[in-house]
Amino acid sequence: MRNRSEVWLGAAESALRAAPPTALLPAAGRLLATYLQASEVTLLLADYGLSVLQPVTQLPHTGSQVPVRDGSAAGRAFAAQAPVVEVTDVPGIVIAHLPVTVRGDHLGVLSVRLPEPAEGALRTLELAAFATALGHELIVAERDTDLYLQARRRRRLTLAAEMQWQLLPGRGLSRQEYTLGAHLEPAYAIGGDNFDWNTTDDVLTVTCTDGQGHGIDAALLTNLAVSALRNARRAGVPLEEQASLASEAVYAQYGGKRSAPTLLLSLDLGTGSGQAVDAGSPQVFRVRDSLVERVALETQTPLGMFQETEYRKTPFSVAPGDRLVIVSSGVHGSQGQDGRAFGERALRETIAATQRSSTQETAQALVDGLVQYHGGSDLTQDAAVICLDWRGRQPLEA
């Protein structure tokens, strides 16, 4: 027999699924008022730069932003990916801040004002499960409404950035074997850099693409390259053939005048054995036992540079506890005002300093370090970072 918690959570999930796409927050408020006597419910979504949390409201109405790193309760819940219970000035009333996360993709925070329960730990677990259910419905609702996408924007995106963000699989992914986190900058004007991933029961595939050029031209090139890679991957061909087919598609469109440097990686989830195709400028670093080293790969020509290019794969492996960090040329080759490149030394130092941070925090820290290198000004080149923590598959108990 199911307990009370299971019953109300099951009913709540059904009610959220039945709510119109634009009415998820009102539905959540009614459910939490009925089951937990909540008096106020706020949904805060992370903006594209992951610097603030913004309340979901119907435009043109907006609410106050909550900086992620100002020490606020909601900001701490998002950064730590853990519930934070805030004591209010009203006796017996608390505000629970719950991360809204879907399979490792950090969407935002659900803040719930309610009476402080006697069974505080159990109630927090119930709320955390509710926030996860709400996150899944948000992902589905975004197919039919712009409400939640608009809530993530501090300002208008360029058309190129709009195309790039719509092309992404998300900003994080988590499974038993690994956790992924990624970040793009300049978030509101990204042009050609992109990342992609795909998981099956047995294999994880990750790509990082540097679309040459700026603005809409770079976005169109990257969209073609990423779509061609996906088309080849979904046809079930080997990694090196995915690169060859995508290269042919880019060459057919641009005749060698434009190319898309790309790194392709695949990892066997059972063994940790991997293979890579280095078609251009993205670089990959591995952290093992606190030692940061660049993974040596055979550098080959970017996608679309020449007709009928055949690519070769390079084997490599990861072990439980390893971290992989992939960076685009906008990170490792970015030049400061003095003309010097950000470079491998700065990358190694930042990666080493953040090895105890989460994958998402590490990806963002690398971009933040790059921004500081440029004197705090907006980046003039696109920058993409992907961070992967590898745990490996646990053996089945006998």
Which H or E element spans position 249? helix 239-254
Phi, psi of 312 (to 5 degrees): -120, 145
What's the pLDDT score for residue 398? Answer: 47
The residue to which tokens 């006697």 are assigned: 118
Tell whether the torsion through CA atoms of 336, 339, 343 and 349 is positive or negative. Answer: negative
What's the pLDDT score for residue 1? Answer: 41
Task: Please count the CA atoms within 13 angstroms of the CA of 118 that sit on its side-chain side.
Answer: 0
What's the pLDDT score for residue 224? Answer: 97
Which H or E element spans position 131? helix 120-141
pLDDT in tens, 125-150: 889 999 999 999 999 999 999 999 99
The distance from CA 261 to its chain's CA centroid, rounded to whole angstroms, is 21
What's the pLDDT score for residue 42? Answer: 94
What's the pLDDT score for residue 347? Answer: 85
Q: Is 256 strand, coil or helix?
A: coil
Would you call 33 exposed, middle or buried from its count of C-beta atoms within 10 A (0-12, 13-18, 19+)?
A: middle
Nearest to 178 by CA among 394, 388, 395: 388
Distance in angstroms (rounded) separating the CA atoms of residues 253 and 260: 12
What's the pLDDT score for residue 369? Answer: 82
* Segments of the chain scoring below 50 in pLDDT: 1, 398
What's the pLDDT score for residue 383? Answer: 87
Which H or E element spans position 106? strand 105-115
What's the pLDDT score for residue 62? Answer: 66
Query: Is the CB of residue 191 less than 8 Å from the CB of residue 219?
Result: yes
Per-residue 3-state assignment (H helix, E strand, C coil) for 49-61: CCCEEEECCCCCC
| Residue 67 neighbours by CB under 8 Å, 6+ apart | 51, 52, 53, 75
Distance in angstroms (rounded) separating the CA atoms of residues 184 and 167: 12
Q: Is 206 strand, coil or helix?
A: strand
- pTM more than 0.85: yes
Phi, psi of 344 (to 5 degrees): -70, -35
> How many C-beta atoms lie closer than 10 Å to residue 393's C-beta?
16
Q: Do the strands 66-67 and 84-87 form a parallel or antiparallel pair, or are they unpaired?
A: unpaired
What's the pLDDT score for residue 120? Answer: 63
